Structure 1
Amino acid sequence: MSDNNNNNQNSRIGRYHDDDGELMTTGGPRRPLWRTILYWALGIIFAIILAGGGLFAVYAASAPKITTAQLTSQNSTEILDDKGNVISSLGSQNRTYVKSDQIPKELKQSVVSIEDRRFYKHHFGIDPLRIVSAAAANFTGSSLGLQGGSTLTQQLVKLSVFSTAASDRTLKRKSQEAALAYYVEKHYSKDQILEFYINKVYMGNGVYGMGTASKYYYNKPLSKLNYAQFAVLAGMPQSPTYYDPVAHPNYAKQRRDTVLRAMYENKVISKADMNSGIASPVSTGLSVNHSVNDTSSDNKVVDAYLQQTIKEVQKKGFNPYKDGIRIYTNLNMGAQQRLYDIVNSDKYVNFPSELLQVGVTMTDPQTGAVTAMIGGRKQNVAFGLNRATQTDRSSGSTIKPFMDYGPAIEYNQWPTFKALEDTKYTYPGTNIELNDWDGKYQGTLSMRKALVESRNIPAIRTLQEVGINRATQFMAQNGMKFKEPLVYSNGIGVYVSSMQESAAFGALANGGTYHTPHLVKKVVTQDGETHKFDVSSHRSMSPATAYMLTDMLKGVPTDVWAPDAHIPGLHQAGKTGQSGYPDSVTTVPHTAVMDAWYTGYTQHSAISVWTGYDQPNEPGHYMTTAQLSIAESIYKYLASYMAQTQSNDDWEKPSNVESIKHNGIDELVISGSNWRKYLNDKDQSSPSGSSSSSVSFSSFSSQNSSSASSASSESQSAGRLSETGASQGAGNGGNTGTQSSTSTPAASSSSAAH
């Protein structure tokens, strides 16, 4: 027994109980648990700091170089066409560069007070105390928007080398930014850094640098401004658009007053000066006529395209006014110039008035790339109304392939000879009758005939049989979504843009794949990194549906139904569309039209054209029957230009589509479908070897005459009039619709859109 006790006492793991019964070891009391946890926590923190420091060192070592030229250069963004040629530089006007000794002391104090109060105290490019203070203020919500965590030096580096996109706000970028800020602090004086910043910041309206902004907003040099005006300029870089004192005086005053309070807290102005500055109107001294930022003639040609390009890159998080990036677009400059000439000269089309407007979009059906765009004609204002993307004008009958007949083929597998009734029709649940231009009915006719001749009643009967839900689904699949539910009257007109229509018809052209329309291919930031823009694509209809719709729509651009869109020998298809005035409008002729469209396509180009007046209810602001051909002519001259360099490919029939002879006409059916149930006793059908719409190629180069004449023959006139009705209530809604809106039947006895 004693031997066992001795062994236990001598053992390395021998144990005993103290007087309180606590288990003890022979080595003394055990380390408290809290101390062990503390040691582990400190060890982990040290390891994290060590790893973070190593990662920072790796990232910092890979930072791009920064030069004096970058720090002093204009931060302009270059926009390039599809061949890599620069078509515009944002902020490329003559900049007034002011040297440090020309910058008033009060402006320097204003900038430092609002952007980096400790600017003259920190010397490493970053300010740890400022970062902690900003984080605490953001957490408690007490910062009042005064300052963030970045120093002026860091902001200068970001403006000179990096972009402001959210995708660039990474640990790697922050590490590189800090490393470069340290470099700048060690190689340039504080006055130089402040000089670089004041001359580089974006000040809105295409203006860079506060010296240029002084002339733009006040028509004076910096030396002639007072401290309250300096406060306006110092506050603008945070948000140049919202703090524009001309466009948004209320926001600008709030920001200016914030700067004045910061100056007082920084002890650079007295309390009396602060109160006096706050009491003064922000409009004091502002100039009405601006001396910079003129729009060049070259920019007029691409104005709408530039405007949409900027919106597209901004949606991706880039700021083209601040980031100094290179934007590579899909613009075909040759086509853009031709389109501009077509709508802005009398060489191609005879416009009745300079007030008649247009909106045109051309896309590549195989990719969705927007290759040309015009937002209006006879415009002298930079970034004016872009009618190519506006969605408050009725499409008329151009929507019928997607709202009516496309869903019928896609979901119900209708053959192109499907019999439809053109007989008296009243919208369900109403007493509103739907009529065509002639107030007559054609009785029974085929789907092909109804679509080509754009009869309204068969279209709405088709929609009723397909159902609103499926029609809405088909529209959405082809890029047309709406805030409000669609109704039956939308079968002959919805509010869409030419860009939406061009992309949707592009899906017909390529065999049923919808590509989101896009202008930008990629963006290259100042550090040389490339950001490619991914494009969304999906199957929007079967190849059979696309082919059968195209085969029918080949019958539209002919000498009968759309003679001014007819291009002999070109494999093309298209659809006309017009919308008229409500019956309540009695100040216009019976056949007056508000909107006239033509959307046509080949396998390589889809072109959608809208024409009309911005204020169609003003006296004389309506289109006559003869003027409906203008949209067709614009399409024809642009399509003819494109045909000179594109192959003239016809569409190949899918393997599951069969050609049959039906009553002597070549028609199409889907293999395996029960198409024979649509035959009646009088029909005569047999297999056929080809489509009746095939054409052969001939030269286009000679077609460069100058007028948009109305059709001369009786059949041409009938074809034109079938798209124009008397007054229209159902499916129109006038020109007061909102974006992506729909319409409901109005108290009218005639058709709304044609």
Structure 2
Amino acid sequence: MRFVKFILWSLLALASAPLLGLSGVALYLSPALPDVETLRNVQLQTPLRIYSTDHKLIAEFGEMRRFPINFDRVPNNFILALLAAEDDNFLNHHGVDPSSLARAVGELISTGQIQTGGSTITMQVAKNYFLTSDRVFSRKINEILLALQIERNLSKQEIFELYVNKIYLGNRAYGIEAAAQVYYGKTISELPLADLAMIAGLPKAPSRFNPIANPERAKIRRDWILQRMLGLGYIDQAAYDEAVATPNTARNHGADLDVEAPYVAEMARLEMIDRYGDAAYTDGYHVYTTIDSTLQQHANRALREGLMEYDRRHGYRGPEARHPEATPEEYQRLLRQYSALGGLVPAIVTTVESDQAIIVLRDGSEAAIPWEQMKWARPQLGVDSLGPVPKAPRDILAKGDVLRVAPTGDEAYRLAQLPQAQSALVALEPSDGSIKALTGGFSFLQSKYNRVTQARRQPGSSFKPFLYAAALDNGYTPASLVNDAPLVYVDEFQDTEWRPQNSGGDFLGPIRLREALYRSRNLVSIRLMQDMGVDRSLDYIQRFGFRREELPRNLSASLGTSELTPLQIAQGYSVIANGGYAVRPYVIDRVEDRFRQVVHLTQPPVAEAALERMQSRLAEYRDKTLAPLQDDVPVAERVVDPRTTYQLTSMMKDVISRGTAVRARELGREDLAGKTGTTNDQKDGWFSGFNADLVVTVWVGFDQPATLGRREFGGTTALPIWMRFMGQALEGRPEHSQPMPEGLVSVRIDPETGRSTRPGSTDGYFEVFKDEDAPPPFSELDDNGYSVDDAATPLELF
């Protein structure tokens, strides 16, 4: 009997030893375990998303693509598929499944290796949120202990939600919603059973069962999960048969962007990094920009079409590569080396016929380029010279040519080429400085250099309105006569002389200031600055937002020789368009956190015209934001007399109605004003124009300054782009100009003298004067033009 008792106690001791050992280990490890309550407030890494003002997605930044979703948004079929694949006893166990652990121990004993690990979904949550992936016994014990705690503190739904939002599923996709969008371009709720089972198969090995990289193994895994679902009674035979017969349609879907505005996205990204550091990429911020998605699309199209139009004028430079010996099997491999840029897709010529060329595109499809869509392609011999006019497709193309084509909309393509010249376009709301559209080049993929904010180029004559504003505030009027005559400046120290010229080389003599602006007379600008003084002129021009050190301290500044960005020019024109208020451009309207709470609201100083609108905006967000808000909307400083901006706008309207931008009359609007600009040797072409609603600046040139061509000016390069954009942007909008402020008067004057006309004269025209500058009536002048009252001299020529 004693022997039997000894045996029984010995067996009990042996049986209890592992339990006592595990209990001891648990007591030892438990104090060091993290608090599972933190899972209730966990913040998963979520990418930065950039939107337009009308809530269209522009860009997404961050290493992890993740879209956390609540449990109630997870399809029931996915829940069943994941349970079948990972943990079919999930609803019954308390964090640890003894049968799974026993199976794992059996594998270890029989094979000497840990294979399945016996982990439940709860144990995987513990590992994913608190532990490493090291396959050691201490981690497994910690995993078990944490799983038991998690089950005591969280519901099954909460545990499942934590799991499906955290897991890595390949291709930068973290969580099931991101996986659905990456592999299928849909939300998880839109996927059929077969695709849900495919995603449910990924947690075990995201690379091995990846439906894009390993489609065969992925399908085997998917079908196994479907078989498990059938065996467990989760689905019926009909659903199973339909799902296993479904082909694998997974492919890599990038972020589904609604608006093409990569230069804007980069500006917003940099600002967010400055504001929040690296957390900007991971904390799930939603950034709403000031960009209008419709205007942005117009800007992209206008810039690209304008550049390609310029490029065609200067001839065809030939194919990007030639592969005359290439076989049809090699075409797609060759084309994979080329990306679509700015809407121009790569293609290779397979056949040249008498009236068309047959091409193959990157996707393997065939298309045609009709003769009408290629006959423009005279050979480019130089920037100002072209070869003979082609008479047939064979004069232009040959088999094996790799070239660029653009769709024409009628299932055909037109021959194109990547423009060598570049351009920039920016559109501002002049009353508050918000950027409504911006494109910094032909293609962001081709060049990430943002020419709107980074390209410093000479603005040429588009700078002259700022000087004319200084003149109008220093005693000149639109009717003042200035002598358009030759000038010579000699530098005795360097033994050099400067003989400035007008663009046409001619001189018009005495000319009214209004006419001098719309005819863009260089000598008049120089005389204005000489009369007012360089320092006095530049001090005034600073009011438009330019830094004094950016403006050369010499008379050449009057001709736009300072190096400025298109955004700076647009900002300066906004001061003219809004009646003299110094607004500053901005692109971020507000920032929301992952919980959609506003954490930053931009509150720019605005012109009076925007006050009511911005006050309504402030009231809307006052109770919705975590950010401190100002008590009221700040009013921008008024830096220019509104009478001056009204006079200047009137003069700049003549640039369009009768001056260097007369082509813009095609838009059929009376509220548009602007100014062209062309620099020496036609290296830069500019046009800046506006009404009271929108200021738009366009620049065209080469990144490495070179002539655009001897017949290319701001009116031929930049103006057509501006017209394309402005025509679409203002379509359907009523005309809107700055209202005439008090203190102005219209007087009929003699265009030859700038003085009041005789009563009843039909030769004069009405000019706008400030009250203090208005010429006296004709009746108060003597025969020599002197005032009868004060013997004042008539306007003096300078």
> Normalising to structure 2: TM-score of the pair?
0.50
The 5-angstrom pairing of residues 587-626 of structure 1 reads 593-617=682-706, 622=709, 624-625=711-712
AA at the equivalent of 2:584: T
SS in 2 for 1:502: helix
Aligned residue number for residue 292 of structure 2: 332
AA at the equivalent of 1:490: A
Residues 342 and 349 of structure 1 are in contact (CA less than 8 Å); yes or no, is this contact kept in structure 2? no
| Distance 1:96-1:662 versus aligned 2 partners, 3 A rule | closer
Taking the aligned partners of 2:172 and 2:518, their CA distance within structure 1 comes to 52
Tell me the CA shift for residue 428 of structure 1: 7.0
| Distance 1:529-1:573 versus aligned 2 partners, 3 A rule | same
Taking the aligned partners of 1:199 and 1:498, their CA distance within structure 2 comes to 46
Q: Does residue 1:526 correspond to 2:526, yes or no?
A: no
Tell me the CA shift for residue 400 of structure 1: 0.7
Query: Cα RMSD over matched residues?
Result: 4.9
The 5-angstrom pairing of residues 534-683 of structure 1 reads 534-536=603-605, 537-558=636-657, 560-566=659-665, 567-581=667-681, 593-617=682-706, 622=709, 624-625=711-712, 628-663=715-750, 664-673=764-773
Taking the aligned partners of 1:187 and 1:557, their CA distance within structure 2 comes to 71
Tell me the CA shift for residue 358 of structure 1: 1.0
Tell me the CA shift for residue 523 of structure 1: 0.9
Taking the aligned partners of 2:428 and 2:782, their CA distance within structure 1 comes to 42
Q: Does residue 1:310 correspond to 2:269, yes or no?
A: yes
AA at the equivalent of 1:444: P
Residues 581 and 639 of structure 2 are in contact (CA less than 8 Å); yes or no, is this contact kept in structure 1? yes
Aligned residue number for residue 426 of structure 2: 361
Taking the aligned partners of 1:348 and 1:448, their CA distance within structure 2 comes to 35
| Distance 1:76-1:626 versus aligned 2 partners, 3 A rule | same
SS in 1 for 2:769: strand
Aligned residue number for residue 535 of structure 2: 469
Tell me the CA shift for residue 454 of structure 1: 0.6
Tell me the CA shift for residue 626 of structure 1: 6.9
Residues 349 and 634 of structure 1 are in contact (CA less than 8 Å); yes or no, is this contact kept in structure 2? no
Tell me the CA shift for residue 621 of structure 1: 5.6
Residues 342 and 348 of structure 1 are in contact (CA less than 8 Å); yes or no, is this contact kept in structure 2? no
Stretches of structure 2 that go unaligned for 5 or more consecutive residues are 1-36, 69-120, 135-140, 143-149, 179-204, 209-250, 313-416, 606-635, 751-763, 788-798
Residues 420 and 444 of structure 1 are in contact (CA less than 8 Å); yes or no, is this contact kept in structure 2? yes
Taking the aligned partners of 1:516 and 1:575, their CA distance within structure 2 comes to 21
Residues 395 and 579 of structure 1 are in contact (CA less than 8 Å); yes or no, is this contact kept in structure 2? yes
Q: Does residue 1:490 correspond to 2:557, yes or no?
A: yes
Tell me the CA shift for residue 347 of structure 1: 11
Tell me the CA shift for residue 195 of structure 1: 11
Q: 2:468 aligns with which of 376, 389, 405?
A: 405
The 5-angstrom pairing of residues 239-258 of structure 1 reads none
The 5-angstrom pairing of residues 383-532 of structure 1 reads 384-402=448-466, 404-410=467-473, 412-427=474-489, 429=491, 431-484=497-550, 486-488=552-554, 489-493=556-560, 494-530=562-598, 531-532=600-601
Between the two proteins, what is the percent identity of the paired residues? 22
Aligned residue number for residue 170 of structure 1: none
AA at the equivalent of 2:514: R
Residues 104 and 222 of structure 1 are in contact (CA less than 8 Å); yes or no, is this contact kept in structure 2? no
CA deviation string 1:339-365 (max 9, x = no partner):
212223479955436122110000111
AA at the equivalent of 1:550: T
Tell me the CA shift for residue 91 of structure 1: 3.6
SS in 2 for 1:431: strand
Aligned residue number for residue 75 of structure 2: none
Tell me the CA shift for residue 653 of structure 1: 1.8
CA deviation string 1:239-260 (max 9, x = no partner):
xxxxxxxxxxxxxxxxxxxxxx
Residues 93 and 293 of structure 1 are in contact (CA less than 8 Å); yes or no, is this contact kept in structure 2? no
Taking the aligned partners of 2:550 and 2:740, their CA distance within structure 1 comes to 37
Taking the aligned partners of 1:338 and 1:376, their CA distance within structure 2 comes to 14
Taking the aligned partners of 1:529 and 1:543, their CA distance within structure 2 comes to 40
SS in 1 for 2:772: coil
Residues 360 and 498 of structure 1 are in contact (CA less than 8 Å); yes or no, is this contact kept in structure 2? yes
AA at the equivalent of 1:438: G
AA at the equivalent of 1:670: K
Taking the aligned partners of 1:529 and 1:427, their CA distance within structure 2 comes to 63
SS in 1 for 2:280: coil
The 5-angstrom pairing of residues 122-141 of structure 1 reads none
| Distance 1:490-1:108 versus aligned 2 partners, 3 A rule | farther
Aligned residue number for residue 56 of structure 2: 85
Tell me the CA shift for residue 68 of structure 1: 6.5
Residues 75 and 208 of structure 1 are in contact (CA less than 8 Å); yes or no, is this contact kept in structure 2? no
Taking the aligned partners of 1:558 and 1:440, their CA distance within structure 2 comes to 22
CA deviation string 1:206-245 (max 9, x = no partner):
97989x9xxxxxxxx9999xxxxxxxxxxxxxxxxxxxxx
Taking the aligned partners of 2:594 and 2:437, their CA distance within structure 1 comes to 27
AA at the equivalent of 1:569: R
AA at the equivalent of 1:376: G
SS in 1 for 2:740: coil
CA deviation string 1:451-505 (max 9, x = no partner):
1111111101111222333333333221121535522311111222222222221
| Distance 1:560-1:87 versus aligned 2 partners, 3 A rule | same
Residues 584 and 604 of structure 2 are in contact (CA less than 8 Å); yes or no, is this contact kept in structure 1? yes
**Which structure carries more relative contact order (alpha carbon 8 Å, separation 6+)?**
1
SS in 2 for 1:513: coil
Tell me the CA shift for residue 510 of structure 1: 1.5
Taking the aligned partners of 1:642 and 1:681, their CA distance within structure 2 comes to 53
Residues 65 and 173 of structure 2 are in contact (CA less than 8 Å); yes or no, is this contact kept in structure 1? no
AA at the equivalent of 1:551: S
Tell me the CA shift for residue 669 of structure 1: 1.9
Taking the aligned partners of 1:185 and 1:577, their CA distance within structure 2 comes to 74
The 5-angstrom pairing of residues 175-186 of structure 1 reads none
Taking the aligned partners of 2:501 and 2:38, their CA distance within structure 1 comes to 70
Residues 52 and 289 of structure 2 are in contact (CA less than 8 Å); yes or no, is this contact kept in structure 1? yes
| Distance 1:346-1:571 versus aligned 2 partners, 3 A rule | closer
Q: 1:342 aligns with which of 298, 302, 319?
A: 302
AA at the equivalent of 2:55: G
Aligned residue number for residue 735 of structure 1: none
The 5-angstrom pairing of residues 211-360 of structure 1 reads 301-317=260-276, 320-345=280-305, 349=309, 351-352=311-312, 354-360=419-425
AA at the equivalent of 1:639: M
Residues 58 and 265 of structure 2 are in contact (CA less than 8 Å); yes or no, is this contact kept in structure 1? no
| Distance 1:660-1:550 versus aligned 2 partners, 3 A rule | same
Residues 426 and 570 of structure 2 are in contact (CA less than 8 Å); yes or no, is this contact kept in structure 1? yes
Residues 678 and 713 of structure 2 are in contact (CA less than 8 Å); yes or no, is this contact kept in structure 1? no
